[in-house]
Structure 1
Amino acid sequence: MRIGFIGFGNMAQALANGLVYKNAISPEQIYASAKNWDKLCENTMSKGFIPCRNSLELVEHVDMVVIAVKPNLVKEVITPIKEYLVDKIVISVVVNFTFDDYEEILAPNTHHLSTLPNTPVSIGDGIIVCETKSSLTAEEYDSFANLFSQIALIENVDTKNLGIAGTISGCGPAFTSMYIEALSDAAVLHGLPRDISYKLASKMVVGTGNLQLQSNTHPGVMKDEVCSPGGTTIVGVTTLERKGFRSSVIDAIAEIQKK
């Protein structure tokens, strides 16, 4: 499987790096094209990826094409090559660009799927939310899933839920990073070295997430299991409740959904 990224910004690089990091494919199986040739070469050649002068050159060499540009550029980059995409697997990682949007741009009978990855795919521990509506054949979807499941949890959702699912998995890392930083600041305030505080906070987040996934325990139950009567944790929990911790998170998601 040779994969070509049209657009090679942060998300495309995260996907490419994750695939190589997990030995899912080798670097020379990854092609990329972008407007800025010098920057493209800088981001590809040092890692063994293959830069292409334009998208047509890229499409000629690959089996799967990943559209990874800004939403306002999708039509511009697809129109000149749409006839060449008919016999390719086309995967989109463009925010808020659904199956129906692509149907208006792509040539008839093009096989495509819209997805929303998050940045932890770069270390093989990400999420890729996929729109259930797709024109991939069963075999093509299996090829996609078998490859990318090596670097991410693959979750399929209806079109109406694609946006909110992408918000949780895609914006969540920023919120979680803020939480890790806040925990670290508090630890440093009370004398713990910064490097140790980051390590403990980050590992705590990873472990708690894995515990929930593997046990399928309700998060409220997990919280209660740590809160002893009259203990230290319940003091912290009640303080967060008074400060609007959960309502702030809910409000942040609501504001994103308004965009």
Structure 2
Amino acid sequence: MTEIRNLKIGFIGFGNMGSGIAEGMLGSGRIAAVQLYACGAHFEKCEKRCAELGGINARKTPEEVVQEAELLFLCVKPNLAESVLSSLKERLSGKVIVSIIWGYEFDRLSVLLPADVQLLCTCPNTPVSIGRGIFVVERKHSLRDAEFMEVTDILSAMSTIVMAETAQMGIAGILSSCGAAFADLFMEALADAGVMYGLPRKTAYALSAGMLEGTAAMQEATRLHPGVMKDAVCSPGGATIRGVAKLEEKAFRSAVLSAVQAIQED
């Protein structure tokens, strides 16, 4: 397949996640804006975002993007997937497609596409835009080896790739994608507590965000069980264990489990 710097990549759907992936690609320094093509539900909004990202080629219709690009990122909302693909189906023959459509794993999506499409289903999270994200990638796919290597090379430049079996795609996506909102909520609540006790808002956010980033990096580096890391911070009779006890009293863990369950069983 074409070298990354010559590869033409298209985005069908250019909302927060689609444009975030494009931003991550550009931030990697391995892909130029001129190689990217995008269309969205509202052309003016898409055109403005493309300009903000350094001159991505905005197009008015998905058909134009398909005509220009060799590798397509399918980033439409789940409720639009069938209608968009039915209008494009014949034009997609032979294309390499990376889908980020929530709830559409390989078997469900492939029946909407020509038989010769090379399809990879994924679930990214928003930090891909700054090169610190996660792409959950379904193990079942139809990419040839060379295309799979090139696509994962592109994705790995802005994210950690986690392979998942089809049955695990939903829960893996909840942890990596929806879980970011839970972390944001915790970060905001912790910062609110800091403000309540006199910290400037900016300082409170810097402390809570830095703490989350450092703790996550430490777990990733050491692979210690989170409980072991928690225990190391909790001195006997100390301040931290009193705070942990209050979180347990308020069913902190149960609330997290219930939040995941609410999404998984929807």
For the criterion TM > 0.5, the same-fold answer is yes
Match of 1:209 among 216, 226, 231: 216
Q: Which residue is equivalent to 1:159?
A: 166
The alpha carbon displacement at 1:4 in A equals 0.4
User: Which shifted more, 70-79 or 111-120?
Assistant: 70-79
Give the unaligned 5+ runs of structure 2.
1-6
Q: Spell out, residue by residue over 1:166-195, the C-alpha distance to the aligned partner (whole angstroms, 9 max, x if none).
A: 011111111111111111111111111111
Which structure 2 residues correspond to residues 13-28 of structure 1 after superposition, within 5 A? 13-28=19-34
Preserved contact between residue 136 and residue 161 of structure 2 (Cα < 8 Å) = yes
The alpha carbon displacement at 1:44 in A equals 1.1
The alpha carbon displacement at 1:199 in A equals 0.2
Q: Which residue is equivalent to 2:131?
A: 124
- Separation (CA, whole Å) in 2 of partners of 1:189 and 1:75: 49
Which amino acid is 1:30 matched to?
L
Q: Spell out, residue by residue over 1:64-94, the C-alpha distance to the aligned partner (whole angstroms, 9 max, x if none).
A: 1011111121122222332332322100000
Q: Which residue is equivalent to 2:3?
A: none
Aligned CA-pair RMSD: 1.1
- TM-score norm. by structure 1 comes to 0.97
User: Which shifted more, 36-45 or 7-16?
Assistant: 36-45
Q: Moved runs in structure 1, 4+ residues, more than 6 A?
A: none
Between the aligned residues of both structures, percent identity stands at: 41
- Separation (CA, whole Å) in 2 of partners of 1:209 and 1:46: 31
Give the unaligned 5+ runs of structure 1.
none
Q: Which residue is equivalent to 2:45?
A: 39
- TM-score norm. by structure 2 comes to 0.94
Q: Which residue is equivalent to 1:3?
A: 9
Which amino acid is 2:161 matched to?
I
- Separation (CA, whole Å) in 2 of partners of 1:24 and 1:182: 38
SS for the counterpart of 2:121 is: strand
Number of residue pairs aligned between Structure 1 and Structure 2? 259
The alpha carbon displacement at 1:3 in A equals 1.1
- Separation (CA, whole Å) in 1 of partners of 2:61 and 2:200: 49
- Separation (CA, whole Å) in 2 of partners of 1:250 and 1:137: 38
SS for the counterpart of 2:170 is: helix
The alpha carbon displacement at 1:35 in A equals 2.8
